[in-house]
Amino acid sequence: KQEVTQIPAALSVPEGENLVLNCSFTDSAIYNLQWFRQDPGKGLTSLLLIQSSQREQTSGRLNASLDKSSGRSTLYIAASQPGDSATYLCAVSFLSGGYNKLIFGAGTRLAVHP
Amino acid sequence: DTEVTQTPKHLVMGMTNKKSLKCEQHMGHRAMYWYKQKAKKPPELMFVYSYEKLSINESVPSRFSPECPNSSLLNLHLHALQPEDSALYLCASSQEEQNYGYTFGSGTRLTVV
């Protein structure tokens, strides 16, 4: 059974720090891995999508890496800002019962203070 | 259009009411999903529709009834809900091909009183 774990569960940092959020998954037979951002009470915003054949993706101050064989992904946030405060969710897409499923980790709650 | 639109944004209903949640996308995605998210928990998959047919039901109680009238619309009909069903209900869509990501709507905040 596919399980997704995110560490740390919560993180509070001063503005300007570089951050690393970790995600691990138990079954390496994934199609892709997606990082989302969620503000309180809101929907999910896709940040980065890494295909199973890729090693990393970058968007602005965000960089996500994928090591499929070890079942790990990291999200790197450079020069953090208060506006980055949100919950970051890692999700893996995989085949289950002949259909594509997306399963989430519990998330990392990030607070960036001025 | 690169969005998934959900209506209403907020819904308060009594335990004897019947209501429906609506989800719409015009990206040509052939897979659509309902997720339920409780406070401070990750989204949990409820239903998957593929080419307008129900392909996955994650053992969801029958008081939740999904419907896919066409490839752009997904409904979730609610009847005789319980207070513990109060949650954020998220709709998502994706291409059938495995190499594309998911697009989520902003959700419907449901409160059952």
Amino acid B13: pLDDT? 95
**What does the pLDDT read at residue A59?**
96
Share of chain A above pLDDT 70, in %: 100
pLDDT value of residue B63? 97
The lowest-confidence range among A2-11, B75-84, B93-102 is B93-102
DSSP assignment of chain B: ---EEEE-SEEEE-TT-EEEEEEEE-S---EEEEEEE-TTS--EEEEEEETTEEEEE-S--TTEEEEEEETTEEEEEEES--GGG-EEEEEEEE-SSTTS-EEE---EEEEE-
Q: Say whether A31 and B98 touch across the interface (CB within 8 A).
A: yes
Residue B111 in tokens:
């409160």
Cβ contact A66:A33 at 8 Å? yes
**At residue B97, does pLDDT exceed 90?**
no
Residue of chain B whose alpha carbon sits nearest to that of A46: B103
Among chain B residues, CA nearest to A54: B99
Contacting residues for A53 by C-beta, under 8 A, at least 6 apart? none
Sheet of A56-59, strands arranged across: A4-7, A19-25, A72-77, A62-67, A56-59
Mean pLDDT of B40-58: 93
Please give the structure tokens belonging to residue A98. Answer: 């002949």
Q: Which residue has the higher pLDDT, B30 or A21?
A: A21
Q: How many CA atoms lie within 13 A of B57 on its CB side?
A: 12
Q: If you average pLDDT over residues B29-43, what whole number do you get?
A: 94
Q: How far is Cα B75 from Cα A39, in angstroms, rounded to an integer?
A: 24
CB contact (8 A) between residue B104 and residue A46: yes
Cα–Cα distance between A49 and B71 in angstroms, integer?
A: 24
- CB contact (8 A) between residue A99 and residue B50: yes
Name the range with the highest mean pLDDT among A1-5, A21-25, B25-29, B95-99. Answer: A21-25
Percent of chain B with pLDDT over 70: 96
